[in-house]
Amino acid sequence: MICSKWRVIFMIGSLAAVCCQFFTGCYSLSGISISQDVKTYYVEQFRSNADNAPPTLEQTLTEALKEKIRTESRLIYSDTDPHVEFKGTVVDFRVTSEAPRPGEFTAINRLTINVAVDYKNNIDKKEWKSNFSFFFDFPSSQDLASIQDEAIRVISNQLMEDIFNKAFTDW
């Protein structure tokens, strides 16, 4: 009796292992859809065409995209014949007034960063060019310098999420 229980448990465990192996590469809980043939990626240093953008923004965005792909996919970074390539340009870095108050003042300012990204998959022969934009609102009583690092971090996180999703998920 005890022997047959262990046999059933062993069979169920074996069946589960076979199912896991069968479905590997077919389905992902995170929704990532990367061909098994694609193994490497490269992110070229972002460029900036935006007036008033901080000089470190290009490097910040480049490193953020590298980190996003490294931590959320199985791809390996390589600058030699990469399977997937990204090129980015900061198109706009702008602060605008968003919430007018009586008089000549605004209650909220908005920092918006726009980037243009070129994607090329050298294995599946897919390419796209897309613009991505996100913003950060802050009280008009604060100046940009006091919130800039936090704002860039928040905006960068969302931009990288959008770029990653466009490249590696079906959205």
| Predicted local confidence at residue 3, as pLDDT | 54
pLDDT in tens, 137-164: 999 889 999 999 999 999 999 999 999 9
- Asked if residues 61 and 88 have their Cβ atoms less than 8 Å apart, the reply is yes
Q: What are the b/e assignments for 88-98, b being 16+ CB within 10 Å? A: bbbbbbebeee
| Predicted local confidence at residue 26, as pLDDT | 36
DSSP H or E stretch at residue 6: helix 2-23
User: How high is the mean pLDDT of the chain?
Assistant: 85
Asked whether the predicted pLDDT for residue 170 surpasses 80, the reply is no
| Predicted local confidence at residue 99, as pLDDT | 72
State the Cα–Cα distance between residues 83 and 76, nearest whole angstrom: 10
Radius of gyration (Cα) for the chain, nearest Å? Answer: 23
pLDDT in tens, 25-39: 433 445 688 989 999
Full DSSP string of 20-37: HHHHTTT--TT-B---TT
| Predicted local confidence at residue 33, as pLDDT | 83
Asked whether the predicted pLDDT for residue 2 surpasses 80, the reply is no
pLDDT in tens, 99-137: 776 666 778 999 999 999 999 999 999 999 999 999 999
| Predicted local confidence at residue 106, as pLDDT | 74
pTM of the complete model: 0.79
Mean pLDDT, rounded, for 41-66: 97
